[in-house]
């Protein structure tokens, strides 16, 4: 089996992917962003790097560019595993960098393991001539464009999460209000009638007597 390095800034994503790969028999290393992943790749020489695209400090594009430029890491295969992946320009950039495969989150376990197996069994993809078109500024421009495209999606997701929290709070308030209204202490506080009291019993007796046409206790007196 292979040594695989995961780069993702979300801990839950790293742990879930690592568990899957370890179950399949692979040795797994992980890093929270690209620069840490690059250090691990230099020191541990994994056969495959599975990286997110949008990460702090060093994104997946820059990580791949660095890996392919350095002789000691140029033979490492790369898979992009990301929830945010742009249009044709982003795909062309990934291919030009030598990314072997792009998986979109979430992918099912079978698809991930199948892609890993196919990439490991093939020769690492060679990058295009980065000196001509993929210099650092161009790469940064492309990443900025991706961030701009995904910013609206992230803002929308945050609005949805805030709305869900508000709805959950309102639902909890309504539930508590219903429980208080149904409790015995609340009924007592609002003056629920007690038919075992003398006054209430007398009033009930008078109404029954009038209904039968008999004199009430008060009139007979």
Q: What percent of the chain has pLDDT over 90?
A: 37
Q: Give the pLDDT confidence of 22-77 residue by residue, as tens digits.
A: 999 999 999 999 999 999 999 999 999 999 988 888 988 889 989 998 999 999 99
Arithmetic mean of pLDDT over the chain = 77
**pLDDT tens, position by position, 130-165:** 554 556 655 665 666 566 666 666 666 677 777 778
Q: What pLDDT digit, counting tens, does each position of 151-205 carry?
A: 666 666 677 777 778 878 887 888 787 777 776 665 555 554 554 555 545 555 6
State the pLDDT at residue 162. Answer: 78
pLDDT tier at 212, thresholds 50, 70, 90: low
Domain annotation for the chain: domains and CATH numbers: 3-129 (3.40.50.2300)
* Strand-by-strand arrangement of the 3-7 sheet: 27-31, 3-7, 48-51, 77-82, 101-104
Classified as helix, coil or strand, 101 is strand
- Summarize pLDDT for 43-58 with one digit per residue, the tens: 999 999 999 988 888 9
CA–CA separation, 212 vs 16, rounded Å? Answer: 80
Return d(Cα 135, Cα 42) in angstroms, integer.
Answer: 22
Closest by Cα among 82, 83, 42, 37 to 63: 37
- Cα dihedral angle (175, 176, 177, 178), rounded to 10 degrees? 50
Query: 51: how many CB neighbours lie within 10 A of its CB?
Result: 26
pLDDT tens digit sequence for 112-139: 999 999 999 987 666 655 554 556 655 6
User: According to the 3-state scheme, what is the secondary structure of 7-21?
Assistant: ECCCHHHHHHHHHHH
């Amino acid at each position: 089996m292979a040594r695989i390095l995961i780069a993702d800034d979300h801990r839950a994503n790293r742990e879930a992917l690592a568990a899957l790969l370890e179950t399949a028999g692979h040795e797994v290393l992980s890093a929270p962003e690209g620069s840490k992943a690059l250090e691990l790749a230099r020191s541990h020489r994994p056969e495959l790097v599975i990286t997110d695209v949008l990460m702090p400090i060093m994104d997946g594009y820059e990580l791949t560019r660095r890996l392919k430029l350095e002789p000691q890491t140029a033979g490492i295969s790369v898979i992009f595993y990301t929830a945010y992946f742009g249009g044709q320009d982003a795909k062309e950039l990934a291919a030009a960098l030598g990314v072997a495969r792009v998986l979109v989150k979430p992918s099912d376990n079978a698809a991930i393991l199948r892609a890993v197996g196919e990439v490991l069994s093939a020769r690492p993809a060679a990058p295009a001539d980065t000196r001509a078109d993929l210099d650092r500024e161009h790469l940064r421009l492309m990443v900025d464009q991706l961030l701009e495209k995904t910013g609206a999606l992230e803002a929308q997701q945050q609005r949805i999460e805030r709305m869900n929290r508000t709805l959950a709070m309102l639902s909890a308030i309504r539930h508590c209000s219903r429980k208080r209204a149904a409790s015995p202490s609340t009924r007592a506080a609002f003056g629920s009638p007690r038919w075992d009291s003398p006054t209430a019993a007398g009033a009930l007796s008078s109404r029954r007597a009038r209904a039968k046409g008999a004199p009430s206790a008060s009139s007979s007196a």
